[in-house]
Chains A and B, each alone.
Chain A
Amino acid sequence: MEKPNTYRAGPDEKGHFGQFGGRYVAETLMPLVLELERAYAEASADPAFAREKDHYLTHYAGRPSPLYPAERLTRHLGGPKIFFKREDLNHTGAHKINNCIGQALLARRMGKRRIIAETGAGQHGVATATVCALFDIPCTIYMGAIDIERQAPNVIRMKMLGAEVRPVREGSATLKDAMNEALRDWVANVDTTFYLIGSVAGPHPYPAMVRDFQMCIGLEVRDQMLAAESRLPDVLVACVGGGSNAIGLFHPFLDDACVRMVGVEAAGRGLDTPEHAATLSRGRPGVLHGSRSYLLHDADGQILEAHSVSAGLDYPGVGPEHSWLRDAGRVEYVAVTDDEALEAFHLCTRLEGIIPALETAHALAETRKLAAALAPGDLVVVSLSGRGDKDLDNVSRLTAAAEDA
């Protein structure tokens, strides 16, 4: 691919990032997707919308989130200086709230009376249920039956916040199937319902809109790093499920050639097994959930079940902009296994007193690997995308099982 003048111009007016993205939805939804695009464009141009959004980001979510120099991890790794972008300190414990505030305000502006969402780890479901409580909008969250089991604390949280949680038993009973059900709900309730997608996936304008709402992460890092070190970071690391925390961190730096970026997918039980979620490492382009992107599917185009210990990364697709950045060679995409992520989970917890989400632990595991090849004084920013409270049961069980083995 020819090197573009800027990596930040996409998508085009039809929602394409090169060959990726687009609007692959049933005709029933197409007018809604177009209406959303118009409404979002209007809102983006309205300073009152930005003011309202910033108000809630600051006083409700707690932004800006700190950029914390992780001293003990830095010493432990013995090389580059590691910083954590503390999205785990946001209200509800992950970056997901940034996007939910933006979309819920947009839903309200569009006069929608009901919100639906899909969730994997439950972080997006909790963030959605939270803003729906705040703005007094009824909401329904679709969640795979397997995820309901492994992320039980978040299910309780959603229900307490007043959300209806609908278990999805079809297919692999995880995030992909939850998204299918949410799309079916949307088709059936077009007049009243706003679909609040939780990552940079789905039909245009979602990938661009969710990215814009998550861009506060990278914009803050830019200012914070310049203030702390008087220069830009050398390496950015983030986990990639759909890719919203990663694109939020990366996007403001895409045109700074000196900044290296690494997106970390889930290798599950290993890239050479069928049980992984490493879409960008092992997938081929395809169409799912409204956009064209890298995808895990068989030769006949049937979608494969992904696997990851982390529910938030357990998805056979990825946001289309990541597919484009991969093919453009601008961002490196790697994958780490369940075991590596679990190790990094414990390491971060013990060294820094920060219990990360299992999703986030994938970024930490890759940071450990990268550190060996980096120079002392290199500046590395890890997106600490969420906290691990939701994972405690699961991690205790997995750790006990590993010790028994």
Chain B
Amino acid sequence: MSAAGRLKERFARLAAEGRGGLVAFVTAGDPDRATSLAIVRGLAASGADVIELGMPFSDPMADGPAIQASSSRALAAGATMAATFAIVREFRAGDSSTPVVLMGYANPLYAFGLDAFVAEARDAGVDGLIVVDLPPEEADALVHAARTAGVEVIFLIAPTTGEDRMARVLENAGGFVYCVSITGITGTKKARTDEVAQAVARVRRHTGLPVAVGFGITTPAQAAAVAGVADAAVVGSAIVERIAAHLDAQGRARDDLVPAVLGFVGELAAAVRAPAPPPAGTAAVRKRSALR
């Protein structure tokens, strides 16, 4: 299936099921390559609807302590861009339908070469790219390369993004819109459901793309609430914290790491599937989205 196809199919299915999805984030290679592959393979089986795979970076400026530590662990264990692609390729060999989105920072992409990067990504089975420090003003080269390769570029909308910038940000947006629910770095503040609902409604006034909400979602209950008003809830820091909590004194994966991480993802997945009563005034929004 083509890259554009997998994301589109998945969000269409979620709409048909009348629920928001779960986007599960882990860093590729955390805490080591074999364990990471086992986690990634298990994510889909545990009910993640979309896999967001972090490309480790030495200086993750938009991330909080949990994802910083996750990135450091991966790099210390020898993670490289080639290894990230290998994980996607091996995952894709056993799963042709779950979308995989790579998330990271601009420098490793440029170091790889944009054209080579998007070609490798597509061949490995990547569906979308999120490059945190590449706002639309600097993204033309990536958008062009990705379009040629048939990979979607996913853009972020933040609480600070004014109405005057919406069109600019969405101009080249593909896949889904990543709606940042808080002003802050990942895993620090808690998103409030009423504010999330407003933020999602605001994005929907400007685009027909699915809207995923991320950055402040840590519990199954929160994921359920967000999935009730958005097309998907992204959970990252809370998952990688489970990885951190199941390392031995030398920082190696304990035997109970993979089951613990996947168990938590299973709870999140069950939560977004349980019909939660949507907050007043948002039911109509949900239905409209489901019709698209």
User: Chain A interface (Cβ within 8 Å of chain B)?
Assistant: 14, 22-32, 170-171, 176-177, 180, 183-184, 187-191, 285-290, 292, 295, 297-303
* In contact, B137 and A171 (Cβ under 8 angstroms): no
Smallest Cβ-Cβ distance to A191: which chain B residue? B183
Distance in Å: Cβ of B243 to nearest Cβ of chain A: 18
* In contact, A303 and B107 (Cβ under 8 angstroms): yes
* In contact, A188 and B184 (Cβ under 8 angstroms): yes
Distance in Å: Cβ of B179 to nearest Cβ of chain A: 10
Smallest Cβ-Cβ distance to B60: which chain A residue? A180
Q: Which of B58, B156, B169 has the most CB of A within 10 A?
A: B58
B189 at the interface (CB under 8 A from A): yes
Given A184-B64, A190-B160: A30 in contact with B132 (beta carbons within 8 A): no
User: Chain B interface (Cβ within 8 Å of chain A)?
Assistant: 57-59, 61-62, 64, 68, 75, 80-81, 105-112, 132-135, 137-138, 155-162, 165, 169, 180, 183-185, 188-189
* In contact, B75 and A302 (Cβ under 8 angstroms): yes
* In contact, A24 and B160 (Cβ under 8 angstroms): no
* In contact, B110 and A287 (Cβ under 8 angstroms): yes
* In contact, A297 and B133 (Cβ under 8 angstroms): no
* In contact, B160 and A25 (Cβ under 8 angstroms): no
Distance in Å: Cβ of B173 to nearest Cβ of chain A: 11
Smallest Cβ-Cβ distance to A289: which chain B residue? B61
* In contact, A24 and B111 (Cβ under 8 angstroms): no
* In contact, B132 and A295 (Cβ under 8 angstroms): no
* In contact, A184 and B160 (Cβ under 8 angstroms): no
Distance in Å: Cβ of B133 to nearest Cβ of chain A: 5
Extra inter-chain contacts (8) besides given A30-B165, A170-B68, CB under 8 Å: A176-B59, A184-B62, A188-B184, A188-B188, A286-B110, A288-B107, A301-B108, A302-B108
Complex Cα–Cα for A82 and B143 (A): 52
SS of B interface (majority): loop
* In contact, B156 and A26 (Cβ under 8 angstroms): yes
Complex Cα–Cα for A300 and B184 (A): 27
By a CB distance below 8 angstroms, the chain B residues around A289 are 61
Smallest Cβ-Cβ distance to B56: which chain A residue? A302
Given A180-B59, A180-B61, A188-B183: A26 in contact with B135 (beta carbons within 8 A): yes
Smallest Cβ-Cβ distance to B178: which chain A residue? A27
Smallest Cβ-Cβ distance to B155: which chain A residue? A27
SS of A interface (majority): mixed
Given A14-B137, A188-B189: A27 in contact with B57 (beta carbons within 8 A): no
Instruction: Report which of B62, B110, B160, B169 forms a contact with A301, defined as CB distance below 8 A.
Output: B110
By a CB distance below 8 angstroms, the chain A residues around B135 are 23-27, 30
Distance in Å: Cβ of A25 to nearest Cβ of chain B: 6
Distance in Å: Cβ of A268 to nearest Cβ of chain B: 19
* In contact, B64 and A27 (Cβ under 8 angstroms): no
By a CB distance below 8 angstroms, the chain B residues around A28 are 62, 156, 158-160, 180, 183-184
Given A30-B135, A180-B59, A180-B61: A24 in contact with B106 (beta carbons within 8 A): yes
Distance in Å: Cβ of B111 to nearest Cβ of chain A: 3
Smallest Cβ-Cβ distance to A33: which chain B residue? B135
Smallest Cβ-Cβ distance to B132: which chain A residue? A26
By a CB distance below 8 angstroms, the chain A residues around B58 are 171, 302-303
Complex Cα–Cα for A157 and B75 (A): 37
* In contact, B111 and A286 (Cβ under 8 angstroms): yes
* In contact, B81 and A300 (Cβ under 8 angstroms): yes
Complex Cα–Cα for A24 and B156 (A): 13
By a CB distance below 8 angstroms, the chain B residues around A286 are 107, 110-111
Distance in Å: Cβ of B267 to nearest Cβ of chain A: 28
Distance in Å: Cβ of B218 to nearest Cβ of chain A: 16
By a CB distance below 8 angstroms, the chain B residues around A183 are 61
* In contact, A302 and B161 (Cβ under 8 angstroms): no
Smallest Cβ-Cβ distance to B137: which chain A residue? A23
Smallest Cβ-Cβ distance to B139: which chain A residue? A24
Smallest Cβ-Cβ distance to A285: which chain B residue? B110
Smallest Cβ-Cβ distance to B183: which chain A residue? A190
**A-B pairs with lowest CB-CB distance, top 7:** A301-B111, A301-B108, A28-B158, A188-B184, A302-B58, A27-B156, A301-B107
Smallest Cβ-Cβ distance to B180: which chain A residue? A28
Smallest Cβ-Cβ distance to B189: which chain A residue? A188
Complex Cα–Cα for A32 and B183 (A): 12
* In contact, A187 and B184 (Cβ under 8 angstroms): yes
By a CB distance below 8 angstroms, the chain A residues around B160 are 27-32, 190
By a CB distance below 8 angstroms, the chain B residues around A22 are 137-138
* In contact, B111 and A171 (Cβ under 8 angstroms): no
Complex Cα–Cα for A260 and B150 (A): 49
A-B contact pairs, 29 of them (CB 8 A): A25-B133, A26-B132, A27-B135, A27-B169, A28-B158, A28-B184, A30-B158, A30-B160, A31-B160, A31-B165, A170-B68, A171-B59, A180-B59, A187-B185, A190-B160, A286-B107, A286-B110, A286-B111, A287-B107, A287-B110, A288-B59, A292-B110, A298-B111, A299-B111, A300-B80, A301-B57, A301-B81, A301-B107, A301-B112
Q: Which of A22, A187, A288 has the most CB of B within 10 A?
A: A187
Distance in Å: Cβ of B155 to nearest Cβ of chain A: 7
Smallest Cβ-Cβ distance to B83: which chain A residue? A300
